[in-house]
Every structure is written in structure tokens, then in C-alpha cells.
Amino acid sequence: MPETIQETYADFCRRQKAGLLIVDEQQQKENDDQEALRDIHEKRYERKYDLFFDNLDLILRHREEILATPRYANIDAHYVLGGGGLYVGELRTARQLNIAGTLITFNLKLGTVLKIWDTDQFRARCECGETAVIRHFVGSPLSGGSSATAVCPKCKKKTHVANRSFGMYYFYVKGMLDDDIEMVVKNLIGKWTVAEVEHQKKVAEGKCRDPKIAQDFKGDKETCSLETMLQELRLKEFKESGNF
Ligand SMILES: [Zn+2]
């Protein structure tokens, strides 16, 4: 019970008898549900993380196609990169904003992760000769020192990468998330503008009985998950191999 709520023993008995919960108990139930959801999300992203890196070679082979296909490039890939540093805290690859009571989550996108891996800062040479990509880094913005882990798409071996500029990791990813947020918001504004035009057209044609712009406000038709994309890419390679 919060310290601010004073309840006598007699009041407590009366309330219990009536089966009434005080607000704090309801809040506890909500907190428990939120925690259970967080557990499910955590397990889900651990599974996706493993799936992603098990298929890293497939993903990198189709880099160009992914970048050229919005439903692939826009897949949430915030869990792919991790790390953080002294003073600056954990690397944030997702940001949630409360807009008029509606929570909007912005995630680092798959196409953006692929672009991050284009930079020398996020690449390393694997023992096998292949180029590995950095998926985790820690360090300090003061000393600038860092320690990172790269993973190889070919042999799956992990390579330790020492002492590259921490700021070049951390602030680069942060800036790329900002770009993704800007892209989504501009997209949203664009879609609302289209809806306004559609609406005005209907009004002008006398077709509009219910003057609500929101009726013409539409999102992208297609969404795609990592799982769907991997399946589509595998099928494509299978067909191209001539075995189909
Ligand atoms: Zn390798």
C-alpha cells in the first residue's frame, strides 16, 4: 500500500469484505502483466537474434535486394546491435514516444543495420578471410577506448575487435536511429497529406457524406517479418539453383 494511503484496521476489514481492491493492488496487477509481456518480448527477441545470425550469410547475400525492397528494408532489427558505454549508458536502438496517449515505437530498421555494416568501423577481418560484422560494443566516450565483437557470416566465428573509437560506434548508430525516426514521421505526415487530398476530392465530387479525413488515412499495405523474409529468400535461392 502506498504510504500516502492511511487505512485503519476496521476500514481494511470492511474493504476486504466488500471485495474491493485499493488502486495500488490494481496497479500491481498491471505491473505483473507488463512484466509478463516484457518476458515474452525478451524471449522473442532472443529467438529472432539467434535466427538472424544463423542466417547472416543469406541476409548479406541479398543485401541489395533487401535495401531495394521497402517491406524488407523496413523490418524491425533493433535487437541485432547491442552495447553501450560508461556515462552514456545502453545503446538505444529503439525509442518509444507517447503521442496523445498512443505509444509509438521507432526501431532501427534492417536496411539501416545493413548500411551501418557498410562502414569500416563496423567490419572486421575473420580468420577464415571473410568480412565479419560487428554486433556488440562497449567502451567509454571519455577515453574513447572500446571492445567489440564481430561475427562471421561464413564460419560463424566470433572475432574480438579492440580499441576502435567508441564514439564512432555509439554516436553513429544513434544518428542512424534518428534518421529512421525522421523517415517514419515524414512517411506518416505524407500519408496524412494524401488522405487530406483524397478527402477534398471526395468533398468536391459530392461523394462525401461523413467528413472525416481519417477514413482516407491508410498505412503501407504490406508488412513483413524477419521469418517471412528469410523463407522468401531461401525459396528464391532454391528456385534459382535450378532444383525447382
Ligand atoms: Zn569466418
Considering only CA atoms, which of 162, 55, 73, 154 is closest in space to residue 111? 73
- Per residue in 70-111, pLDDT tens? 999 999 999 999 999 999 999 999 999 999 999 999 999 999
pLDDT tens digits along 147-176: 999 999 999 999 999 989 999 999 999 999
- CA 134 to centroid of ligand 1, rounded, Å: 13
What's the CA-to-centroid distance between 159 and ligand 1, angstroms? 9
User: What distance in angstroms lies between residue 129's CA and the mean position of ligand 1's atoms?
Assistant: 6
Instruction: Report the separation in Å between the CA atom of 149 and the middle of ligand 1, taken as the mean of its atom positions.
Output: 13
pLDDT tens by residue, 182-211: 999 999 999 999 999 988 888 888 877 776
Report CA(11)–ligand 1 centroid distance (Å): 69
- N-to-C CA span, the chain: 65
CA of 110 to the centre of ligand 1 (A): 22
- Give residue 212's pLDDT: 85
Evaluate if residue 1 carries a pLDDT over 50. no
Distance from Cα 152 to the centre of ligand 1, integer Å: 5
- pLDDT digits over 24-56, tens only? 788 889 999 999 999 999 999 999 999 999 999
- The pLDDT confidence band at residue 4, using thresholds 50, 70 and 90, is low
DSSP 3-state helix, strand, coil percentages of the chain (rounded to 5)? 50, 20, 30
The neighbouring-strand residues paired with 94 are: 107
